[in-house]
């Protein structure tokens, strides 16, 4: 994607001031940073990372409370994914091996096995459409990430530099009628996402936040971790597709 920056000033013949340029609705600097981040992620053959998430939930007695989760994600090639999640719902896991998605609840000791498409991104789309299941940070791995953001948001702005957990990051803010999104991208050679915040203008101002850490790029991940082996005592259950 080619990005062009323009600078200009309007000087009026009878005034002693110059008009301050108005920021573009979709800032080329912000788009360039998004492109760099997407290019690095798109070139990865495998990776793993940790994710700490929080989201607001409405409690009948106490109003908004934050639910936290800690997730470890492993991706290998175009068709392998493993996710471990520890949070309010207990410890859970997803295993995808290129043909089947398995979900296991350690707390309830039950599991679901679902036939799935032959690529990770196709699997994510299919499972979300059929069962409303989402996967952590999945949006960052779509080749169309930058174009999707440009299409979805009316405003995309480069805010400046901010520190996140001791690391300098570029801060990009995007907005549309339904939400504001803050994206912190590491200011280093890799341009990987560091923090992601969504503030909903509807839903009573609910907020979602995810912080990335412990990125491992192109590690050698054993195929065995993408294969789910149900414990002998586990109970297989079914899951209904959404209507």
Residues facing 81 on adjacent strands: 75, 96
Question: What is the pLDDT confidence band of residue 30, given thresholds at 50, 70 and 90?
Answer: very high
How large a percentage of the chain has pLDDT more than 90?
81
Q: What is the pLDDT of residue 161?
A: 98
CA–CA dist 157, 122 (Å, integer): 30
Q: What is the pLDDT of residue 162?
A: 98
Residue 8 above 70 pLDDT? no
Please state which CATH number belongs to domain 28-236: 2.50.20.10
Give the mean pLDDT of 221-230: 98
Handedness of CA 74, 87, 124, 190 (dihedral sign): negative
Residue 33 above 70 pLDDT? yes
Residue 12 above 60 pLDDT? no
Residue 185 above 90 pLDDT? yes
Question: What is the pLDDT confidence band of residue 171, given thresholds at 50, 70 and 90?
Answer: very high
User: pLDDT tens across 122-150, in order?
Assistant: 999 999 999 999 998 999 999 999 999 99
Residue 113 above 90 pLDDT? yes
Residue 178 above 90 pLDDT? yes
CA–CA dist 43, 218 (Å, integer): 10
Q: What is the pLDDT of residue 62?
A: 83
Place of tokens 């949070």: 87
Q: What is the pLDDT of residue 136?
A: 86
Cβ-based neighbours of 118, under 8 Å, separated by 6 or more? 79, 98, 99
Give the mean pLDDT of 75-93: 96
Q: What is the pLDDT of residue 219?
A: 98
Mean pLDDT over all residues of the chain? 90
Q: How far is CA 9 from CA 13, 15, 18, 143, 158, in A?
A: 13, 13, 6, 37, 20
* Pair 211, 63: CB distance under 8 Å: no
Which string of b and e fits 152-179 if b means at least 16 CB within 10 Å? ebeebbbeeeeebeeeebbbbbbbeeeb
């Amino acid at each position: 994607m080619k990005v062009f920056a323009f600078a200009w000033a309007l000087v009026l013949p009878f005034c002693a001031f110059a008009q301050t340029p108005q920021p573009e609705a979709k800032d080329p600097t912000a788009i360039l940073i998004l492109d760099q981040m997407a290019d690095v992620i798109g070139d990865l053959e495998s990776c793993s990372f940790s994710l700490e998430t929080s989201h607001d939930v409405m409690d009948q007695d106490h109003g908004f409370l934050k639910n936290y989760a800690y997730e470890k994600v492993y991706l290998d090639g175009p068709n392998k994914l493993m996710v471990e999640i520890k949070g309010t719902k207990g410890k859970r896991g997803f295993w995808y091996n290129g043909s089947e998605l398995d979900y296991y609840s350690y707390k309830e000791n039950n599991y679901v096995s679902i036939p799935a498409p032959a690529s990770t991104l196709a699997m994510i789309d299919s499972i979300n459409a059929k069962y409303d299941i989402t996967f952590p940070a999945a949006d960052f791995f779509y080749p169309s990430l930058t174009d999707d953001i440009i299409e979805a948001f009316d405003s995309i702005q480069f805010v400046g530099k901010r520190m996140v957990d001791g690391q300098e990051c570029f801060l990009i803010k995007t907005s549309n009628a339904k939400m504001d999104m803050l994206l912190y991208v590491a200011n280093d050679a890799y341009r990987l996402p560091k923090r992601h915040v969504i503030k909903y203008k509807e839903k009573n101002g609910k907020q979602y936040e995810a912080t990335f850490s412990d990125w491992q790029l192109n590690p050698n991940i054993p195929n065995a971790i993408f294969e789910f082996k149900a414990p002998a005592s586990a109970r297989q259950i079914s899951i209904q597709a959404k209507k």
